[in-house]
Amino acid sequence: MNIPFNKPHLTGKEVHYMYQAVYDGKLSGNGQFTKQCQQFFQDRYGFKKCLLTTSGTDALEMCAMLCDLKPGDEVIVPSYTFVSTALAFLREGAKVVFADSMKRNPNLDAETLEALITPRTKVIAPVHYAGVACDMDAIMAVAEKHNLIVVEDAAQALDSYYIKILANGDDSQTKVNKRPLGSVGHLGAMSFHETKNITAGGEGGLLIVNDERFIRRAEILWEKGTNRAEFFRGAVNKYGWVDMGSSFLPAEINAAFLWAQLENIDDIQTKRTLLWNKYYKLLKPLADEGCFNLPDIPSYATNNAHMFYLTFPNLEKRSAFIQYMKENGVLTVFHYLALHTSKYYEDKHDGRVLPECDRYADTLVRLPMYYDLEVEQVEEICKLISMFVRTC
């Protein structure tokens, strides 16, 4: 058995659309496929404004620039996340204040959020780990109370939703309000890296703007600090350098690749959900015995089947598990290291202990999850897991 951790899925149309982009003669981006992808996200998910970027990291950096941070401003970021979430704000001169995770899942603990706020706090940047929603009602309430900007790191959260149950005044009737992740905060960022549910050819991202006050400047930053987008719309008779910016716009061949994936998003999501549910069903008896914990999906969240992970009782057990699976031909990987204890930032951290973040850093392990994985392979993986917990 030889099962990799990840394998990017190809729908069959990627090369065809890339060929079309090449022979359309518009390679530098913002052509037909860029516009189609951006419109897709706006139509399907109701985002006010979308701009494709070269990576999820670039999308986060654009978010940070739009927040107009000053040296000394503080941004609250979960410590259990990829370094890009923090780096985007550090590049703007802000101080990152790390938040702990929840006990039930690795997402930012909204109950401890307000205690981290000071007069210098400007932004909260929740990360929807594994595509599972943070408690956005609680986060947005704190943000509104203190006049803060919320930047959703939805890198893993494509096609996942935040659910709110609304009472109609009649106990027998309720209304469900589902909001796509990335649409709840003022700004959002998604990733189309090859490990995500869909990819733009290995790298790619999306800036999501939900607050109209940021739309015009977002376009300027995206166009290298120029008002070129307004010029092409006929809003100005010439364009020039008006602000900061960078080369955030991806090449058109990446947008063409992404379009082929977006055309098949429902099929991709259906298959991934099937695999995720199979893992859960087969592993639940072992979890019930206390061998490990399964992913937690709160009542306010949906599951986009981005990731299937286990949390073991301790680091030693997890390390033994990863080695056992590798010896038997299955690649499993641990995920984030705690950012507040990193060599780069440990002397800048305020010294608080973040026990839940540390626990996930030591005990969480990700199982193979990709479109081309077969149900029979999931069954074999689960048999191996059962053998491990019975013999190790």
Sketch out the chain's domains with CATH numbers. Answer: 14-262 (3.40.640.10), 265-391 (3.90.1150.10)
Looking at residue 25, its pLDDT comes to 86
pLDDT in tens, 95-138: 999 999 999 999 999 999 999 999 999 999 999 999 999 999 99
Interacting residues of 155 by C-beta distance below 8 A, sequence separation 6+: 56, 82, 84, 127, 189, 190, 191, 193, 196, 205
Interacting residues of 177 by C-beta distance below 8 A, sequence separation 6+: 163, 164, 165, 166
255 within 8 A of 21, measured Cβ to Cβ: yes
Interacting residues of 50 by C-beta distance below 8 A, sequence separation 6+: 37, 38, 41, 42, 206, 207, 208, 209
pLDDT in tens, 135-157: 999 999 999 999 999 999 999 99
Nearest to 47 by CA among 186, 140, 232, 175: 186
pLDDT in tens, 176-212: 789 999 999 999 999 999 999 999 999 999 999 999 9
The pLDDT of residue 221 is above 90: yes
Distance (Å, whole) CA 259 – CA 37: 6
Looking at residue 238, its pLDDT comes to 73
Total Cβ atoms within 10 A of residue 87: 17
Looking at residue 173, its pLDDT comes to 56
Within 208-314, residue ranges assigned H as helices are: 215-222, 228-233, 252-262, 265-288
Bridge partner list, 149: 123
Looking at residue 196, its pLDDT comes to 98
**3-class DSSP state for residue 155?**
coil
Looking at residue 235, its pLDDT comes to 72
- Whole-structure pTM value: 0.95
The pLDDT of residue 171 is above 70: no
Average pLDDT score over the chain: 95
Interacting residues of 95 by C-beta distance below 8 A, sequence separation 6+: 72, 73, 74, 75, 120, 348
The pLDDT of residue 311 is above 60: yes
User: Which tokens go with 279?
Assistant: 């893992």
Sheet (strand 309-311) strand order? 309-311, 364-366, 333-334
Residue 128: CA count within 13 A, CB half-sphere: 38
Looking at residue 172, its pLDDT comes to 55
The pLDDT of residue 169 is above 60: no
